[in-house]
Amino acid sequence: MNAPLPDVPEVRVVGLPLLTSGFDLVERLGLPMHLKVHGPLEPMAGEALAGLAEQIELRGRGGAGFPFARKLRSVAEAAIRRGVRPVVVVNGSEDEPACRKDTVLLNRAPHLVLDGALLAAEALGARTLVIGVTRDSTEASMRTTLAERGLGNRRGAALRARVQRNPVRMVTGESSALVRSADGGPPLPPGRKARTSDSGVGGAPTLLSNAETFAQLAVAARIGADRYCRTGLRDEPGTVLLTLSGAVARPMVVEVPTGVPLRYVLQLAGAPALPQGVLTGGYHGKWLDSVAAHEAVVSRAALDACGGALGAGAILPIGESTCPLGESLRVARWLAGESAGQCGPCHLGLPAAARGLADVLDGGGPTALEALREVTRAVKRRGACKHPDGTAAFLESTIAAFTDDLAAHVLGGGCGRPVLGVLPLQAETPRGEAPSGRRLAVDWTLCQGHGLCADIVPELLQLGPDGFPSVAEAAVPRYSEARAARAVRCCPALALRIEEDPKAASKQRPALPAALPPGRGRRALGSGRQ
């Protein structure tokens, strides 16, 4: 299996570097070296900065691809309308196991990212700058960077700048989760849709973009739109940063001009000459089959046109020797575990989708396939954030890309290939949504089919056609521990228990009580049984 990617993998460049200039000289561009490599940067007025972003067709590089100029103008208009100072937020949360491009920038070219953020803050008249990070390395680098600039969170300062550290979780990179944590709340989506350009940190209009977006802005402001647009495609100029991992000889982050053939980038990292498939855009992205991957070029529009996605810039090929559906199942289970556990489409729908894909692989036939399709349709556009949507898109792409393997599993005995685990996942995930190391077990000698357990923890237990739980054991993720304990307490037949899962890596934790001592709580429920 692939080891987790390091924070700062090997960095390569195709053509002339823009974002990675100076990487061949030093490991980290401190302020003196940054100025030697990139030169000074003059402030720009708000409309001039928006015009520059329009000329270079700058879009957000965090996955959504929203036009930066439109976002900048929306924040400025909201701030003027309300008569308040806006806030600028750099989203450096990069918590997907297959993504490292922003982490590389924050560790090796932090002043370039800060330049873009300061340009935007000056143009907007912002007096608050927040840099969201989730890793020890990026936190240390950005604290050092602010100190090198003489910036801090001091009262009375012309610009108050601070680093906001959040846990490593998929959902902390969501814009509303980062805003919520910056306001002192939990780093989770709030469950209500609100545009940060209208109301973000402290309720003020907030310009929030990811690290690469601000770095691209800083490069363009230095060299000008004309020179910037000489690199890459006419309608999507400049360069992009990609993280290559999966079935490659050398995992790396590479800076490439738009329009470069994807096959060339894959060859650079030592991918198989004829990959079975290439996952583009990361774990919320889409699969390309070998033919489409051979013909694709690196750009947002080109990848969309051939069924892929630029997304967060992660590119993951897999070889012919592994089962692509099994690889996708590993990712689906990880994505289900990344749920914040606070809305039904996420903490119920995503585990159900992962189970549905497992049923397909286990020979569940057309019925299992249709059930999988139904659950992926059901979770879309109903979550508190975009995590359910991205996961559903990944699963739908998996079904569409590997039709031959799907037919072998649905109609036959499987594809016959092992699951090698070539797609990187985090080795340990010490957060509330990780597996707890416990399982919920049913004692069939006591179970009478009351069904309360399925009402309390439907993400873990469902009732079969006979009215009894359909499984005897279910692993308990940490976000379900409280509900699982409640299901144990509420079982009228005392047929449920929580026990250590011998297969879990975290079994060293102290066990929850398997049941409450006999007394009013459980006996009262039991005595009222009909």
pLDDT > 90? residue 278 = yes
Alpha helices in 362-450 (DSSP H): 365-379, 387-401, 403-411
pLDDT > 70? residue 44 = yes
The string of pLDDT tens digits covering residues 167-220 is 888 888 889 999 999 999 888 888 777 789 999 999 999 999 999 999 999 999
pLDDT > 50? residue 478 = yes
Please state, in angstroms and rounded to a whole number, the distance separating the CA atoms of residues 375 and 175.
26
Specify the amino acid at residue 66.
F
Q: Which residue carries 């800060």 as its tokens?
A: 114
Q: What is the pLDDT of residue 517?
A: 38
Q: Which residue carries 């590993």 as its tokens?
A: 330
φ/ψ (deg, to 5) at 296: -75, 155
Q: How confident is the model at residue 454 (pLDDT cuts 50, 70, 90)?
A: confident
Phi/psi-derived region of residue 125, left when phi > 0, alpha when psi is between -120 and 50, beta in every other case: left
Please state, in angstroms and rounded to a whole number, the distance separating the CA atoms of residues 526 and 441.
19
Please state, in angstroms and rounded to a whole number, the distance separating the CA atoms of residues 403 and 264.
26
Cβ neighbors of 352 (< 8 A, separation 6 or more) are 375, 459
Q: Look at residues 71, 64, 66 and name the one whose alpha carbon lies nearest to residue 50.
A: 71
Secondary structure of residue 360 in the 3-state scheme: helix
Q: What spatial distance separates the first Cα and last Cα of the chain, rounded to whole Å?
A: 52
Residues in the chain: 530
Please state, in angstroms and rounded to a whole number, the distance separating the CA atoms of residues 530 and 527.
9
Please state, in angstroms and rounded to a whole number, the distance separating the CA atoms of residues 240 and 181.
29
As a whole number, mean pLDDT of residues 315-342 equals 92
Please state, in angstroms and rounded to a whole number, the distance separating the CA atoms of residues 279 and 314.
8
The rounded percent of the chain whose pLDDT value lies above 90 is 67
Supply 480's token pair.
């379900």
Please state, in angstroms and rounded to a whole number, the distance separating the CA atoms of residues 145 and 349.
42
pLDDT > 50? residue 519 = no
Supply 465's token pair.
């056609």
Q: What is the pTM of this model?
A: 0.83
Q: Look at residues 262, 285, 265 and name the one whose alpha carbon lies nearest to residue 423.
A: 285
Supply 407's token pair.
């037919």
Q: Look at residues 449, 512, 503 and name the one whose alpha carbon lies nearest to residue 481.
A: 512
Mean pLDDT of the chain: 88
**Helical pair 101-108 and 110-124, crossing angle rounded to 10 deg:** 90
Please state, in angstroms and rounded to a whole number, the distance separating the CA atoms of residues 442 and 279.
39
Please state, in angstroms and rounded to a whole number, the distance separating the CA atoms of residues 344 and 483.
14
Q: What is the pLDDT of residue 440?
A: 87
Please state, in angstroms and rounded to a whole number, the distance separating the CA atoms of residues 290 and 495.
51
pLDDT > 60? residue 446 = yes
Specify the amino acid at residue 30.
G
